[in-house]
Amino acid sequence: MKFIAPSMLACDFGKLDVEIDMVNKSKANWFHIDVMDGVFVPNISFGSPIMKVLKNSAEKPLDVHLMIVEPEKYIKKFADMGANILTVHVEVCKHLHSIVQKIKNLNMKAGVAINPQTPISSLTSIISELDLVCLMSVNPGFGGQTFIENSYKKIKDLKKLIIETNSKTLIEIDGGVSSKNAKKLVKCGADILVAGSFVFKSKNPSETINNLSSLVN
């Protein structure tokens, strides 16, 4: 089973309740929520009020992606706000092992994200402890960017590392996902596809989600 996780950063915040309801009723598996601080990435997104709305209304797991510096300061806060999966960036974590343990101790699944220029080798010592690796297939910070072609090779390299270490880590792809590359991404080893603009800028987002799910399952 391959998962589809619509990225709520691309939805219409003016009708957030309608967008959440649409995702609830679709074949989507998770809600993907990008949290940005304007420091690690040049953009600011999702604060506590929107997380509270999602916690109360979402009927599927909340997959929270922290694109922020010092994420260790906010782990408990996001656990309290209903995060089911919490992903931090390897590039900003000096004590990655302890952060991953802290996430797990708060009964969330632990993920680590890596930017396009960050090598897979940065995950070697931690891979067996992770529930998920989020491979950024665009430069993080803004929606609607073009997919970076080298990502296919990175997925294969990551899959090889997971198999070699006998890990159960899932591979999530975030950025530029569409019906054009979904099958190839899954063939290379992806388990979860995050889709933002492709879903929410389409004429029928619910149908787009369902078609994407059918395409890879």
What residue segments make up the domains of the chain, in order of their start?
3-216
Q: Considering 12, 34, 131, 157, which one is annotated as catalytic?
A: 34
Instruction: Output the CA–CA distances (angstroms, integers) from residue 41 to 67, 118, 128, 153, 192, in the order listed.
Output: 7, 15, 27, 24, 23
Q: Considering 12, 37, 63, 174, which one is annotated as catalytic?
A: 174
Tens of pLDDT along 128-146?
Answer: 999 999 999 998 766 667 8
Residue stretches of the chain with pLDDT short of 70:
46, 141-144
CA distance 193 to 43: 22
Q: To which residue do tokens 């979860």 refer?
A: 192
Instruction: Decide yes or no: CATH 3.40.640.10 for domain 3-216.
Output: no
For the question of residue 34 being annotated catalytic, the response is: yes
Provide the pLDDT for residue 101: 98
Provide the pLDDT for residue 141: 66
